[in-house]
Amino acid sequence: METIKGRVHSIQSMGTLDGPGIRFVVFMQGCNLRCKCCHNPDTWAISEGTEYTPIEIFEKAVRFKEYFKNEGGITLSGGEPLLQSQFAFEVFTLCHKENINTCLDTSGSILNEDVKKLLSVCDRVLLDIKYTKDTLYKENVGCSLNLPLEFLAYLNSKNIPTTLRQVIIPGLNDNKENIENLKSLAVKHLCVDKIELLPFKKICQSKYDNMNIEFPFAHIETPSKETMEELNNLL
């Protein structure tokens, strides 16, 4: 049988922002969404990137095992890793054989049998809940809020430890109502044990310029430190 291959945009060997502890982070190529706040438009096209086999990714990750300790491990991010869920399953299965913690960073916009199989070998999911209103999702993401909510419900049914993440974008979700909605989701789903609020930034502007495409949120400023503190206090 032919070995499955995955398309990878880039690899970060010692990440500290993509899950607990020190992580070996694989940014998968390809995304099914077009979020207006996207920092990685260069990951959109699934036909691009570098091809790897699952064993090639595993062999790179295992070199850093001594740095992972108890909390660290491997994280598959993107792009959207769910587009390559069969490949991701093989990678995570190999990692589990070496007791390497597995983490999936996803928008939760796809839920099929391959994705459910992948989730069976996930130790933690970082689920990006971009907004808590369906109208904002449809306008600024390209899908309905129902998709990540269905994904979250499945995570809850399988008791998969989950971190909710949200990028705070001034004028869209930097308000008390949104934070209370986010808190409500956590209360209703016992699998959620952490919420992370991340400030919107525009360090991606050069990528859009290089690709000769418009950055839809170029006019939006980064939220102030005071705003982030206020919203975090609400949590």
37 belongs to a structural domain:
yes
Say if residue 227's pLDDT is above 50: yes
What is the mean pLDDT of the segment spanning 13-38?
95
114 belongs to a structural domain:
yes
1 belongs to a structural domain:
no
**Above pLDDT 70, what percent of the chain?**
99
**Above pLDDT 90, what percent of the chain?**
95
Domain ranges, residue 202: 6-234
50 belongs to a structural domain:
yes
Q: Order across the sheet with 50-52: list the strands.
A: 50-52, 6-15, 23-28, 73-77, 101-106, 124-128, 162-168, 192-199
Cβ-proximal residues to 201 (8 Å cutoff; 6+ apart), any chain: 39, 222
How far apart are the C-alpha atoms of 124 and 20, rounded to whole Å? 9
Q: Specify the pLDDT at position 231.
A: 96
16 belongs to a structural domain:
yes
What is the mean pLDDT of the segment spanning 90-101?
97
Total number of domains constituting the chain: 1
Q: Which tokens in the block code for residue 156? A: 């809850």
164 belongs to a structural domain:
yes
Say if residue 2's pLDDT is above 90: no
How many residues comprise the chain?
235
How far apart are the C-alpha atoms of 186 and 174, rounded to whole Å? 18
What is the mean pLDDT of the segment spanning 198-204?
93
CATH number at residue 13: 3.20.20.70
Say if residue 7's pLDDT is above 90: yes
Asked if omega into 79 is within 30° of 0 (cis), the reply is yes
Q: Specify the pLDDT at position 1.
A: 42
Secondary structure (3-state) at 209: helix
Strands 162-168 and 124-128, bridge-based pairing: parallel
H/E stretch holding 232 reads helix 225-234
Q: Specify the pLDDT at position 70.
A: 82
CB 220, CB 170: distance < 8 Å:
yes
Q: Which tokens in the block code for residue 90? A: 């093989």
- Of 123, 129, 132, the C-alpha closest to 104 is 123
- Of 145, 143, 135, 168, the C-alpha closest to 33 is 143
Backbone angles phi, psi at 127, to 5 degrees: -105, 120
How far apart are the C-alpha atoms of 140 and 35, rounded to whole Å? 6
Q: Specify the pLDDT at position 198.
A: 96
Say if residue 105's pLDDT is above 60: yes
Residues 128-142: pLDDT tens digits?
999 999 999 999 999
Helical H runs in 2-142? 54-62, 65-68, 85-97, 113-119, 134-140
